[in-house]
Amino acid sequence: MSEFSLNLSTKIFFGKGKVKELGEAIKPFGKKVMVVTGGGSIKKYGIFNEVANELNRSGFEWFEYSGVVPNPRLSHCISGAKIAIEEKVDFLLAVGGGSVLDATKAISFLGFTKGNVWEDYFVNNKDIEKALPIGVVLTLSATGSEMNGNAVITNEEKKQKIAARSENLKPKFAILDPTYTFSVPKEHTANGIADIFSHLFEQYFSPEEIDWWVPDRMAEGVMKTLIKWGPVACEEGNNYFARANIMWASTVGLNGLLGVGKSGDWATHKIEHELSAYYDIPHGAGLAVLHPTWMEYVLDENTKERFANYGRNVWGIEGKSEMEVAKKAIEKTRFFFKSLGLPSKLRELKIDDKYFSNMAEEVISIYKGEVGRLKKLTKEDIENILKLAE
Ligand code: NZQ
Ligand code: ZN
């Protein structure tokens, strides 16, 4: 077992009506707030109004910075960071899904940086020493961004999508009201479920000793939760328990708890980020295609035990051999995603083989050859996975 340290510093307010905590939660950080939002759905469904009322009731001076798009763009974050500095804001409040949260994190530190920020902070992971404090009102369950220090941003000129990471980017608090996700359409609900599942896979299928049980048995419980409540959330958008289970699964899925003592694999995420940088597809949809394909590709005599564990403990599969259980588990995974209406081939996302080679090269170059830990992937492997997924 690897050693680990864990800092779960984000304060969580979970449940219907928890927006009432907003004023008290922001107060320690100052008076002037910039509220970062996306393309308008939160206004359509009344969430923005509830947030605005709370900010007004608590006497904050505040304004909105809107227009964050899915797969948030670096240029928009840089503009937001300039405004935050010029307006001397004390606090940033993200109201939205993962894209809004990530953009807010980028805005929080970009105003204090100089030079080639993309190379320094995204490609080369330079330490982020200074950032404005941020808080979150989550409206879509998927990324775990509400409790982690990752800001995944797209550089539209370079066609790259990479995370900046720092403890200093962790939200100070997150308001998780499952009713705020009632309005998420089926398609984005399903994308979110695929993303959560994928975060669990990235941490679960890791090269460390298989006897380090706690994170894996916990992850299996979260996976079962997705299998039970995912289809309900997709079909009955207003089902509180379905939305609540998926929301908490999203948060624990990538807040560090299930990855302790494990290095994780993360090859599938690295490849998917390239796909969404090139084609601007939803992250979860790309993962729904790539993760089962990656499983199929890396399954061999050395990895079969982990996939068989997953099959037995999560899906209750029995079989004569580890290999048989493992293969059935991969099929079950693919079928589950399909049953939620998610794609299982890249062509369903209108992606052909035109840029496979470029994307594979880019992934190897961005991560300096470190792609995959359960099984390290070469450029050729990445191209093979993309071809298999085509
Ligand atoms: O733009 P608006 O109008 O806000 O609409 C959004 C968007 O179109 C809509 N939406 C959000 N809340 C809603 C709603 N529609 C109705 N009702 C609501 N309550 O949903 C659409 C998708 O939103 P987005 O924020 O893009 O989705 P998601 O939460 O899946 O975030 C995806 C982004 O997060 C990154 C992804 O790569 C992608 O850029 N990730 C961030 C991670 C992190 N920070 O740790 C980890 C992940 O692996 C991932 O890479
Ligand atoms: Zn993800």
pLDDT at residue 1 in the model: 62
Q: How far apart are CA 223 and CA 195, in angstroms?
A: 12
Q: Are strands 160-165 and 11-14 parallel, antiparallel or unpaired?
A: unpaired
- 59 pocket-lining for ligand 1 (C-beta < 6 Å): no
Give the closest residue (by CA) to ligand 1 atom 22: 70
More confident residue, 208 or 31: 31
Crossing angle for the helix pair 186-204 and 283-298, nearest 10 degrees? 40
Joined tokens for residue 276: 């969404």
Cβ burial, residue 44 (10 Å; 0-12/13-18/19+): exposed
CA of 327 to the centre of ligand 1 (A): 31
- 144 pocket-lining for ligand 1 (C-beta < 6 Å): yes
Percent of the chain scoring above 70 in pLDDT: 99
- 142 pocket-lining for ligand 1 (C-beta < 6 Å): yes
- 66 pocket-lining for ligand 1 (C-beta < 6 Å): no
CA of 315 to the centre of ligand 2 (A): 22
| Residue range 252-268, pLDDT digits in tens | 999 999 999 999 999 99
| Residue range 190-244, pLDDT digits in tens | 999 999 999 999 999 999 888 999 999 999 999 999 999 999 999 999 999 999 9
Residue tagged 């039970």 (tokens): 228
- 111 pocket-lining for ligand 1 (C-beta < 6 Å): no
Q: How far apart are CA 13 and CA 78, in angstroms?
A: 30
CA of 72 to the centre of ligand 2 (A): 14
The candidate with the shortest Cα–Cα distance to 46, out of 174, 235, 183, is: 183
Cβ burial, residue 79 (10 Å; 0-12/13-18/19+): middle
CA of 244 to the centre of ligand 2 (A): 19
pLDDT at 300 over 80: yes
pLDDT at 82 over 80: yes
Give the closest residue (by CA) to ligand 1 atom 23: 97
| Residue range 84-122, pLDDT digits in tens | 999 999 999 999 999 999 999 999 999 999 999 999 999
Q: Which ligand is nearest to the CA of 143?
A: 1
Confidence of residue 293 (pLDDT cuts 50, 70, 90): very high
DSSP for 25-70, please give it: HHGGG-SEEEEE--SSHHHHTTHHHHHHHHHHHTT-EEEEE--PPS
- The amino acid present at 62, given as its one-letter code, is W
The reported pTM is 0.98
Joined tokens for residue 139: 């409206």
| Residue range 361-385, pLDDT digits in tens | 999 999 999 999 999 999 999 999 9
- Distances in Å between the Cα of 157 and the Cα atoms of 66, 113, 154, 170, 233 are 21, 20, 9, 27, 37
The number of the ligand 1 atom at minimal distance from the alpha carbon of 153 is: 39
| Residue range 118-160, pLDDT digits in tens | 999 999 999 999 999 999 999 999 999 999 999 999 999 999 9
pLDDT at 163 over 90: yes
pLDDT at 35 over 80: yes
The number of the ligand 1 atom at minimal distance from the alpha carbon of 71 is: 39
- 96 pocket-lining for ligand 1 (C-beta < 6 Å): yes
The number of the ligand 1 atom at minimal distance from the alpha carbon of 144 is: 45
Percent of the chain scoring above 90 in pLDDT: 98
Cβ burial, residue 361 (10 Å; 0-12/13-18/19+): middle
- 268 pocket-lining for ligand 1 (C-beta < 6 Å): no
On average, the pLDDT of the chain sits at 97
Task: Name the DSSP class of 119.
Answer: I
pLDDT at residue 229 in the model: 98
Give the closest residue (by CA) to ligand 1 atom 47: 143
- 243 pocket-lining for ligand 1 (C-beta < 6 Å): no
Residues 255, 8 contacting (CB under 8 angstroms): yes
CA of 125 to the centre of ligand 1 (A): 23
Among 64, 283, 287, 290, which is best to mutate for testing ligand 1, by the most ligand atoms less than 8 A from CB? Answer: 283
